[in-house]
A and B are shown apart, each in its own frame.
Chain A
Amino acid sequence: MTARNPLSTLKSRLAAACAAAALLLAAGGAEAADLNALIWCDHSDPTLLEPFEKANDVKVNVKEFEGTGAGLAIVDQSQPGDWDVMVIDSIDVPRGVEKGLFEPLPEDKLPFADLFPEVKMDKSTVVDGKRYGITEKFGYNTIGFNKTKVDPADMQSLASLTSEKYKGKVAIYDYYLPVIGMAALAIGKKTADLTEADLPALKAELLKMKANAKLVGEVTASQTALATGEVDVLVGGGEWVTAGLAEENPALDFSIPKEGAVLWSQSLAMFKDSKNKDMALKFIQYIMSPEGQARLATSSCYWGMPANTKAALTDEQKKILRFDEQPGFLARAQAYPAPNADLDKKMQDMWTEMLQAQ
């Protein structure tokens, strides 16, 4: 047994006291038979949840979060068994496994054979031979643009993002990992091979992008900027920005430039301490079913490609998501940067420096 740091002990007891109080207020009407899901906003769409609730006579209680750190903090402040399933960045599944949170998934009960092979993400979702996450949705951090305002041919190269031609017409999506990934592609580096030695070159590229940009915005701000014509190009944008707006603004589009794009993917995981594992598995099976995949892909919060090739999308939806072009896109896409904790911190500090640059 190791002696605990007294600071840590006091901190954890205080945190536990605060968390207990918060849970009393927040957990409200949750019942044991309910399914409690920590999710991203695309899972809170009633058109996605209601068919599952009706079919299984269960209430799905959802709690939205942004960012793996914030999600894991909610789990830290909860009691074991409070949560049944979690949506998580595929590259962060090992963080949950390391904390002992997740239950291995039964591969034979899930449609792994139907997934796009490139998005299975075994490097992240399989730990010590056991699969802890299943990719449910994916897409690209690439170039989103208004095709009536820019030359679509320019959007086939990342060099356009830093060209004088588009100065002041560019927005940058405010999330450091994918945009650093795009900067890596722009300077000819593979996203999977990034090390600390690459940071100066990446920083120089980011500063060039910032100098050309009008704003750096989170999801809503960058989407609004592109949709209202404040900017014509979104660095880091993709189908997740343009597809949901296709009906009202068909001029919005995305490209996979010749240098490639960054592949993002989100996974579903089941909690080891879930008191409702059967229902949690049913929920994952529903989300991965052709119907669940179609509803998740076209969720009102944001659209994205379903991981299941058999998703029951309409022809129009497939066209908007450019479903048939996926094999080509996937072949050119590179992995989301997955730095270790130390490099991650350095990358975030580099991002802070870029944001503060005038």
Chain B
Amino acid sequence: MSVSGSNPRALPWALVTPALAWTLLFFVLPFIAMGFSSLTAHEGGGFTLANYSQFFADPSYWRAMVNSLEITAIVTVISILLAYPFAWILAEMVPERWQRLALMLAVLPFWTSYVVRSYSWLLVLAQNGVINRALTGIGLIAEPLQLANTRFATVTGFVHFFVMLLTLTIFANLKQLSPSYRKAAADLGAGPARTFLHVVLPLTLPGIMVGAFLTFVLCIGDYITPQILGGNNELVMPQLVMMQIGRRGDFPLASALSIILMAVVTIAYLACARWLKIERA
């Protein structure tokens, strides 16, 4: 097909139109609706800022945001610390012909249902679960530990999922790294540790940040894992949003809380933006 003679700008617009239409229909319009809903009173329907003021005035509401941020930060840091060595081993130490299989095994947890995986963790961490039985069996502890229905359980469930995600993004970044960088560093007298700290790590930072940002967004907006594994001993923002809908159907307050959560994600994006560029030098 030739586009000569036609407007050269038409083809790119034609190609991008379906994606724009999709975003407009399924993101922009619902977002505007949610924004208006958040400024509406639940009873009576008039304009109000009360849905936002409730969040800042009620300590149990903003405590949910603090909980969300704390859990997300812990999960992101632990996931990076576990995923980086894993990705490094995959990229550097596993023979090329086994890498595809190793990657497939690494992402196996993605193949199971998220809900089933969370309930499986609940059974593993339960009072009568595998871990407590093993620890009591070998005499390390006398009484079972409370592992399930805690923040520890929520973090464990999240980390299990996000380590895989981060491994993929960091592995991709490591594979793109030309061996010449390390050779050049070695020629200039840098040892392996110095080369890693001053050459490899900075060059793989985009992969880490992309994975970390995805982890942040998915973790802070997740309802299932804290609901199943956390035992409701503390609430996070998505649980607070869901609570408003269940019986009372308070969509305006749920919308306001969702927009506050989106604002936090936007701030996180802006903080990471310099590392999230698609183009490469």
CB distance from A194 to the nearest CB of B (A): 16
- Using an 8 Å CB-CB cutoff, how does the interface string of B10-54 with A read, 1 for contact, 0 for none? 000000000000000100011011001101100101110000000
Across the interface, do A11 and B25 meet the contact criterion of CB distance under 8 Å? no
Across the interface, do A356 and B30 meet the contact criterion of CB distance under 8 Å? no
The CA of A168 and the CA of B150, in the complex, are separated in Å by 13
- Using an 8 Å CB-CB cutoff, how does the interface string of B123-154 with A read, 1 for contact, 0 for none? 10011100000000000000000101100000
- Most B CB contacts (10 A, CB to CB) among A70, A168, A229, A355 go to A355
Within 8 A of A (CB), among B207-233: 227-228, 231-233
Across the interface, do A14 and B60 meet the contact criterion of CB distance under 8 Å? no
The yes or no answer to A73 lying at the interface (CB within 8 A) is yes
Chain B residues with Cβ below 8 Å from A353 are 60
The CA of A317 and the CA of B29, in the complex, are separated in Å by 51
CB distance from A63 to the nearest CB of B (A): 16
- Which among A32-40, A119-127, A214-222, A254-262 touches the partner chain? A214-222
Given contacts A11-B37, A15-B33, A67-B247, contact A214 B149 (CB under 8 A): yes
Residue of B at shortest CB range from A11? B36
CB distance from B144 to the nearest CB of A (A): 10
- Most B CB contacts (10 A, CB to CB) among A10, A229, A345 go to A345
Chain A residues with Cβ below 8 Å from B243 are 348, 352
Across the interface, do B228 and A221 meet the contact criterion of CB distance under 8 Å? yes
Chain B residues with Cβ below 8 Å from A69 are 245-250
The yes or no answer to B279 lying at the interface (CB within 8 A) is no
Across the interface, do B232 and A215 meet the contact criterion of CB distance under 8 Å? yes
- Most A CB contacts (10 A, CB to CB) among B64, B232, B240, B250 go to B232
Within 8 A of B (CB), among A198-231: 214-218, 221, 224-225, 228-230
Across the interface, do B246 and A66 meet the contact criterion of CB distance under 8 Å? yes
The yes or no answer to B187 lying at the interface (CB within 8 A) is no
CB distance from A221 to the nearest CB of B (A): 6
The yes or no answer to B61 lying at the interface (CB within 8 A) is yes
Across the interface, do B127 and A229 meet the contact criterion of CB distance under 8 Å? yes
Given contacts A7-B36, A214-B231, A215-B233, contact A70 B246 (CB under 8 A): yes
Chain A residues with Cβ below 8 Å from B170 are none
Say which residue of A175, A230, A358 sits within 8 Å of B127 (CB atoms). Answer: A230
Across the interface, do A228 and B60 meet the contact criterion of CB distance under 8 Å? no
Residue of A at shortest CB range from B231? A215
Across the interface, do A218 and B248 meet the contact criterion of CB distance under 8 Å? no
Residue of A at shortest CB range from B63? A356
Across the interface, do B235 and A356 meet the contact criterion of CB distance under 8 Å? yes
12 pairs, CB–CB < 8 Å, chain A vs chain B: A7-B47, A14-B30, A14-B32, A17-B29, A69-B248, A168-B146, A217-B149, A224-B122, A230-B127, A344-B247, A352-B61, A356-B63
Contact surface of B with A, Cβ cutoff 8 Å: 25, 29-30, 32-33, 36-37, 39-40, 43, 45-47, 58-61, 63-64, 119, 122-123, 126-128, 146, 148-149, 227-228, 231-235, 240, 243, 245-251
